Amino acid sequence: MVLHAHLPFVRHPEHPDALEEAWLYEAMAECYIPLLDRLERLAEEGVPYHLSFTLTPTLAAMLRDPLLQERFRRHVALMQDLGRRELHRTRHHPELHRLARFHADHWDRVALLYHDRYRGDLITPLARLQEAGRVEILASAATHGYLPLMDVVPQAVEAQIAVGVHAYRELFGRQPRGFWLPECGFHPGHDQILRRHGVEYTIVDAHGLLFGQPRPPHAVYQPVVTGAGLAVFGRDWESSKQVWSATEGYPGDPAYRDFYRDIGWDLDWEYIKPYLRAGIRGNTGFKYHRITGPTPHKELYDPDAARERARVHAGNFVFNRAKQVEYLAGGMDDPPVVLAPYDAELFGHWWFEGPDFLEDVLRFMAANPSVRTTTPGRHLDRLTQLALVEPTLSSWGYKGYNEVWLEGSNDWIYRHLHKAAERMVELARRFPEAQGLQRRALNQAARELLLAQASDWAFIMKTGTMVEYARRRTVEHLERFHTLYHDLLRGTIDGYRLGLLEERDNLFPFLDYRVYAPQPVPAPQAAGG
């Protein structure tokens, strides 16, 4: 199982109550902290498990940012206050009062963990789990740029990968073995870039392997190796669908908490207004109803029934995986591997009971004689030979290719992104040994380009949520880049304005603009023999 933890870089020091920063706070409170809590509990109890994570550089930068850490603390305190008010408001309604107590306890637990156990640092406990051999953390691209559509300027792809690997080494003090391609977006030839930066393996969607040349001998149930020496794992559709699908998978069960029904929408405006971001109705995390079914009428949520349902679903998931590997093993020499990647935010944010489900899956796997959890790196270490296959262009997006990130709502961005990338390469060549203010401006230009390239903006434009924000972020980063570009060429860098940009878009303090004009590096020896 691979959990892909990612959010775009959203940090607005100029706004004390930026609406979009709630994406981070919700994911921290509902997903990252509950997952860490359960993984640490399993480790303390001696339950054997192995799990893979990706922690994208943008998410890591936000989790480590003092401003966002302090704002999250204030957010948690505000939700604790709402919990106390809800306990008072529902005191004469036993069923609602029980649900108010459940949610108030959740926020108290989040506060306890974040303040007392983790001291505001969610990355160090994850690193400790990796050092203990429980977790394997993959690197990812600098700002989650969708690499297949950046291939027009190969140096742009190289920079996304190089900065992502560097960010990983800064965080964890070691070289990453695996690399998560944003959106599982593979483009032929990118395996050579990954190998240049020491990456041993990556993951593609099933058809990326199945339509490769030649066809893989064991479908997606063994990794293959490319001519460049990169090991490639394929996503298993069956295990993915059981957990991903809201209609056919576990998360759509009527007993589970309904994501969309929230007191931020239901309660009186004057009562709830102090707890809403930017004075706009939205989710608070206090959700008192269950999915119930495809009907506007929603029954009250029963946490105990939902917890038991998660346990049943976890047992079903492990049973199915055991039967799956027993069947597959009959036609294979090496043990089959079932690779199941998911967005980490599914577990807790979109599917509230997801962390409970995952904990139970890991417990049941540990007790099952037919199947066990592993990581891509551990599995590679067991193999002596891999089949040579060249994967095809693919992604895990709608229809399996580039359509989500290249269609009528977002296609306008690419000519601008490509032009900016070409100009960044030009700057790196023109100023090979810049120092002082000039070097700072070149590094910030690279930073703004990377931020403009985030796949999230095109995705948001496609899905129709927060479109104006996504458009504005794309345009603003490009405008900042081009301003710096022209200032550098004219020799008229405004130090004050540059300082403001460095403070606002402050990720990747190690960034060296010369990543856009790197020296050739020999590819390491092929992975997997």
For the annotated catalytic residues, the residue numbers are 183, 343
Handedness of CA 179, 370, 241, 257 (dihedral sign): negative
CA distance to 11, 501, 505, per residue, from 14 (Å): 9, 12, 12
> Cα–Cα distance between 212 and 278 in angstroms, integer?
49
Alpha-helix residue ranges (DSSP H) falling in 368-435 = 376-382, 413-430
Which residue stretches of 413-466 are H helix?
Answer: 413-430, 436-452, 455-463
| 259, 287 contact by CB (below 8 A) | yes
Phi, psi angle pair for 231, to nearest 5°: -75, 140
Q: Do the Cβ atoms of 394 and 203 come closer than 8 Å?
A: no
Q: Give the span between the Cα atoms of 443 and 424, in whole angstroms.
A: 10
Q: What is the dihedral of CA 225, 229, 230, 231, to 10 degrees?
A: 30
Question: Which of 419, 433, 515, 441 lies closest to 485, judged by CA?
Answer: 441
Report in angstroms the alpha-carbon separations of 128 from 56, 318, 355, 375: 18, 27, 19, 16
Instruction: Give dist(CA 514, CA 424) in Å, integer.
Output: 9
- How far is it, in rounded angstroms, from Cα 356 to Cα 401? 33
Q: Could you give the 3-state DSSP secondary structure of residue 234? A: strand
Tell me the torsion sign for CA atoms 100, 104, 110, 112.
negative
461: nearest Cα among 392, 413, 517: 413
Residue 211 to residue 59: CA distance in whole angstroms: 33
Give the whole-angstrom CA distance, residue 434 versus residue 67: 31
Phi-psi category of 378—alpha, beta or left, where left has phi over 0 and alpha has psi -120 to 50? alpha
Tokens of 73: 């603390």
